[in-house]
Structure 1
Amino acid sequence: MRDLSNPTRRDFLGVTAALGSVAAGISLPTAAFAQDAFPSKTLNVVTHAGPGGGTDITTRMMMLRARRVFDQDMVVVSKRGGSGAAALMYANGQPRDGHTFLTITQSHIFQIIQKKVPLTIDQIAGIARATDDPTVIAVPTNSPISSLQDVIRASAEASGGLKWGTTFAGGADHVGIHNFCKKAEGIPYTIVPFQGGGDIVTSLVGGNVDLAILNYAEGESQFAAGDLKPVVALSAERISGIPDVPTAAEQGIAAYASTVRGFAALSGVPEDRMKVLEEGLIAAMGHSAYQSYLQSGGMTSSSVVGMDEWNAHIERIFVESETALKELGLI
């Protein structure tokens, strides 16, 4: 029999955010704090990125309002190393009382898949998703590729497939490219790794690679200047900044890729405290300051979701990424 005193992430899947009463003018987080005296001290948010990185900025933008919502100080605890492994290990050594939680990305999930940390995916309890940053397949402006069908045709004609700029082999970009190509008639592809998104954009503008998956914000200035051409959005809906670019899904290829960030605790935090955190984070990220941050990156308010949707998304990332990494021979 499973020990229910140490619940896993799946134990939280039935907990929903009762936000209807917020709309009626009742502050649910405040009421919960008064009843449970939580949080009763500083909240520590563990990140794996240095200052100025996307994860760090997302965390700090949430905290702008969350300090008021929770009526407690909040600090960023940066634990860099191992693409999220160091952050997970640090959190694993802290009390499971809700005062310490993490900002996680796909990288953290990859560390679990690759067994680089002594944790399983069931021990990741999602609290709220913070960003769902859509990606787009982009090519140099002078490329003959202008559509999804062009990508498929050119890939089939090129020896070894087209050259895709990406970060490191086995990373989120690589998995996104692999899943897209698999669903797009199994087209061949070749990856060309770079150190970061900026290097990919520079190489793509220079024509050193054929195409790449970029977050809209990464390529926005180049799209506007006419240096890069967006051809396919790998999002559920068209990206507002480039509304004329169709999605792969609307053309019959259910391929999605985005940069995802969200907040999660390790299993064992009491359910009532998880709910307080969920409601507080959703309220904080509903504020105009955070919403403006989302809009500036080409994202919408639908990025922010509660436990049910976020945990389902975590599970989907895990399953799709584990499958891709097995197919790539990386696990």
Structure 2
Amino acid sequence: MKKVLLLTSLAVISTAAIAFPNKNLEMVTHSGAGGGTDLTARMVASLSEPLLGKSITIVNKKGGGGLLSLDYVTSRPADGHTILTYTSGQAGEIAKGSSKTTLSDWIPIARATDDPQILMVKCNRFKDVNQFIESQKTKALTYGTTHLGGIDDVSAFAFTTKANVKTAEVIPFDSANEVATQIVAGGVDVGVLNLGEAKVQISAGQVCPIVVLSDSRMKSLPTVYTAKELGIPVSLSTVRGFVVKAGTPKDIVEKLEKTFIEAMSKPEFQKFLDNLGLDETSIAGKEVWSKQLEESDKEMRESLKQLGFIQ
């Protein structure tokens, strides 16, 4: 009798796994409609729906630096039907300890965009990257960022600290466009930006990327050194990807990973990446995405603690 019950239970579990998804899904973002994260989620959702055979509703939980989105998904069952669009913003709040959750409460599925942090300067301000670094050994440069305690702030601090130069004097601005404008105007020496945020100024020959904070050079910036090539162990990106609540069955996680990778391999998503100045290397599966999140969490915690955001 026990054997029959066991076999029946296994059959039910197997059927449930095969049936996934057995209802429509939700994809939760922390940005408002029309924002970069929202657009990324909508693109991936629309391309994944035919593959899953179910609709995916975008749920915008804006507020609290991403905390509302974390809380919402935490309150839902760990069955794979509620997917969180996870970004550097939420990662920062988790690193600060502002969230009820930690990184271990989430299972990474796939990465959609990997937009490296780039140090940019006014063109012809420095002869080369070596002069850029040498100049900071005797005098701190001003770094324009979008807000204190975020990925830009951490990038400026981590780079100058690990380069053994004067710690960056960070000046926060309301938008990335304002940072790019201030580089040109001479309001700041350096801007911490993503490639797409300064496309206009770069095309006009006003702003030049000088160091990319990534593991390898960007295809769109083949002549720009990475920090690691310069002996500075810093790799930080503005990322967007997908995670589910811890406890979600392994086979469901694997199905979502396979589905999203297939969806993001389609020409429509490749064009979306191209418009951001990115390429197919942005797309990654669970293993790469997990490793990046762990390394970024460690880097952010170390820097935020030294900056005084973590007691």
Using structure 1 for the length normalisation, give the TM-score. Answer: 0.85
1:1-331 superposed matches below 5 A: 36-143=18-125, 145-158=126-139, 161-331=140-310
Kindly provide the amino acid, as one letter, of the partner of residue 269 in structure 1.
Answer: T
Contact 1:67–1:73 under 8 Å retained in 2: yes
| 1:41 Cα offset (Å) | 1.4
| 1:298 Cα offset (Å) | 2.0
For 1:312 and 1:173, the matched residues in 2 are separated by 20
For 2:124 and 2:289, the matched residues in 1 are separated by 39
Kindly provide the amino acid, as one letter, of the partner of residue 296 in structure 1.
Answer: N
For 2:32 and 2:20, the matched residues in 1 are separated by 29
2:34 alignment partner, SS class: coil
For 1:65 and 1:208, the matched residues in 2 are separated by 43
Structure 1 34/68 Cα, relative in aligned 2: closer, same or farther at 3 Å? farther
Contact 1:177–1:213 under 8 Å retained in 2: yes
| 1:119 Cα offset (Å) | 1.2
Per-residue Cα deviation, 1:111-168 (whole angstroms, up to 9, x for no partner)? 222222211221011011111112321112352x24322222222232xx11100011
Structure 1 115/242 Cα, relative in aligned 2: closer, same or farther at 3 Å? closer
Contact 2:270–2:280 under 8 Å retained in 1: yes
Contact 2:137–2:165 under 8 Å retained in 1: no
Structure 1 308/203 Cα, relative in aligned 2: closer, same or farther at 3 Å? same
| 1:34 Cα offset (Å) | 9.6
2:137 alignment partner, SS class: helix
| 1:98 Cα offset (Å) | 0.7
Contact 2:202–2:208 under 8 Å retained in 1: yes
2:135 alignment partner, SS class: helix
Kindly provide the amino acid, as one letter, of the partner of residue 266 in structure 2.
Answer: H
Using structure 2 for the length normalisation, give the TM-score. Answer: 0.90
Kindly provide the amino acid, as one letter, of the partner of residue 232 in structure 2.
Answer: I
Kindly provide the amino acid, as one letter, of the partner of residue 232 in structure 1.
Answer: V
Structure 1 107/296 Cα, relative in aligned 2: closer, same or farther at 3 Å? same
Structure 1 146/70 Cα, relative in aligned 2: closer, same or farther at 3 Å? farther
Structure 1 189/270 Cα, relative in aligned 2: closer, same or farther at 3 Å? same
For 2:240 and 2:289, the matched residues in 1 are separated by 10
1:151 alignment partner, SS class: helix
2:111 alignment partner, SS class: strand
The answer for unaligned runs of 5 or more in structure 2 is 1-13
Contact 1:235–1:258 under 8 Å retained in 2: yes
| 1:35 Cα offset (Å) | 6.2
Aligned match of 1:29: none
| 1:72 Cα offset (Å) | 0.8
Contact 2:118–2:195 under 8 Å retained in 1: yes
The answer for unaligned runs of 5 or more in structure 1 is 1-31
Contact 2:123–2:207 under 8 Å retained in 1: yes
Contact 1:166–1:193 under 8 Å retained in 2: yes
Structure 1 330/68 Cα, relative in aligned 2: closer, same or farther at 3 Å? same
| 1:187 Cα offset (Å) | 2.8
Contact 2:73–2:82 under 8 Å retained in 1: yes
Kindly provide the amino acid, as one letter, of the partner of residue 314 in structure 1.
Answer: L
1:129 alignment partner, SS class: strand
